[in-house]
Amino acid sequence: MSRKYFGTDGIRGHVGQSPITPDFFLKLAHCVGRVLKRSESRPTVLIGKDTRISGYMLESALESGFNSAGVDVILLGPLPTPGVAHLTQAQRASLGVVISASHNPFDDNGIKFFSSRGSKLGDEWELSVERLLAEEPVWVDSADLGKTKRLNDAAGRYIEFCKSTFDGDLTLKGLRIVVDAAHGAAYQIAQAVFLELGAQVHTLGCSPNGMNINQDVGATHPQALIAMVKEKEADFGIALDGDADRLQFVDRHGRLFNGDELLYLMASERVAQGEQLGGVVGTLMTNQAVENAIVQLGLKFIRAKVGDRYVLEALEQNHWVLGGEGSGHLLALDKHSTGDGLISALQVLQTCLRSKKDPSELLKEVVLFPQVLLNVPNKGPDAWQASEALKALIDMEEKQLGREGRILIRPSGTEPLVRVMVEARSQETAHRVALALSQAI
């Protein structure tokens, strides 16, 4: 059975269009509740959200759906996605629910779920929910309906958790940091974490109005952060996305570092401290230069499918702790069960403080390979996958590139396109190979 509603990170779409409607969310929560009750007589679910105006409407629908299945609900209010994951584990809840569309504009929204361990749920769990969505609801008797209450100090608990992941012998005193919360879920929490660890904090994107989330600020629009870092002569800039599970990092010179580079910084600091990491997990899109640099640290490196849930699966299978994506989803499983923009920022700051070096100095030997990405129309069946001529061309180009480049060809999951990505030591080589492969397709 293929999934109809769930994508790589929960369910997401345009508010008011299926499936992001109150009636669907009510039925979805009812079905999730029925799945939970297969293994627990009285489940408890935590619900958090970002700052989108539609969050109120969808939260009410979820609350009713869970209650109708005999599930108790605890409302957390606006809270970063990783905050919901943490509190689900800390409160011994059955499930954590986040209402958010992450880095999308305000008129999109979505939902994602966390297990009782604070980790993303697998494909089989999502399929079990989708099977029930095709059935009629089974309402519980009035005496068995769930109840709802609010956890008033959710933000404070999460702030303390974030601070606890920063080594106790270090302080941020003397540092000027610009924090951009994308007018999203961390709009109050982010500045508090860095202030309480001693930094002087300038804020950006911390005034949500329900409709300005991710608008020209945050991890997907770092230009505003770069400008403020220069204006305030700050030491560092930290940008989160709408639900604060993604990080972009800027140094005092205004240089922006992506998730691939930050992952290397985190790994190198652990190695310098004598930790036995074993290996690091990236994705199919991780820059080849970063893989090479991590291998030079004496670590193994493997690639998972794109999506932090697949990075997590690979980490758990190999019993490793560090992984991430170029987009800024970074995982340190000895600190948290899921990707966390704030905790990742603290880990990078910790690296800079211990080494007494700026990120650019720590990364001077890691020169990212130029990357060319072309989209090719995919008409009809994926005949290109069976083309012997194309396979021969790919094989020839890969042999010529060797460790100096990489080819990735994959169908789009959302559009009738084939995505051709080529990395090479030079932009000219990457473009030549990508164009040749695109023309062959």
Tens digit of each residue's pLDDT (9 = 90 or more) over 417-432: 899 999 999 999 999 9
Flag whether 6 is in a domain: no
Q: Mean of the pLDDT values across residues 314-327?
A: 96
**70 and 134 belong to one structural domain:** yes
- Assess whether 47 and 138 both reside in one domain: yes
pLDDT at 1 over 70: no
Instruction: Supply the mean pLDDT for the chain.
Output: 95
CATH number, domain with residue 422: 3.30.310.50
Print the SS3 string covering the chain.
CCCCCCECCEEEEECCCCCCCHHHHHHHHHHHHHHHCCCCCCCEEEEEECCCCHHHHHHHHHHHHHHHCCCEEEEEEECCHHHHHHHHHHCCCCEEEEECCCCCCCCEEEEEEECCCCCECCHHHHHHHHHHHCCCCCCCCHHHCCCEEECCCHHHHHHHHHHHCCCCCCCCCCCEEEEECCCCCCCCHHHHHHHHCCCEEEEECCCCCCCCCCCCCCCCCCHHHHHHHHHHCCCEEEEECCCCCCEEEEECCCCEECHHHHHHHHHHHHHHCCCCCCEEEEECCCCHHHHHHHHHCCCEEEEECCCHHHHHHHHHHHCCCEEECCCCCEEECCCCCCCCHHHHHHHHHHHHHHHCCCHHHHCCCCCCCCEEEEEEECCCCCHHHHCHHHHHHHHHHHHHHHHHEEEEEEECCCCCEEEEEEEECCHHHHHHHHHHHHHHC
Whether residues 421 and 432 fall in one domain: yes
Q: For residue 413, what pLDDT band results from cuts at 50, 70 and 90? A: low
The last residue of a domain, from among 254, 281, 310: 254
* 57-109 tens-digit pLDDT: 999 999 999 999 999 999 999 999 999 999 999 999 999 999 999 999 999 99
Range of the domain at 275: 257-362
Query: pLDDT tens, 262-282?
Result: 999 999 999 999 999 999 999
**Final residue of a structural domain among 152, 179, 195:** 152
Same domain, 107 and 40: yes
Does 412 qualify as catalytic in the annotation? Answer: no
Mean pLDDT of 122-142: 94
Judge whether 3 lies within some domain.
no
pLDDT over threshold 90, residue 116: yes
Taking residues 141-146, report their average pLDDT. Answer: 97
pLDDT of residue 143: 97
CATH number at residue 287: 3.40.120.10
Catalytic residue among 64, 102, 327, 344: 102
Q: What is the mean pLDDT of residues 201-215?
A: 98
36 and 130 share a domain? yes
Instruction: Specify whether 100 is located in the same domain as 170.
Output: no
Residue where a domain terminates, one of 254, 275, 291: 254
222 & 136 share domain: no
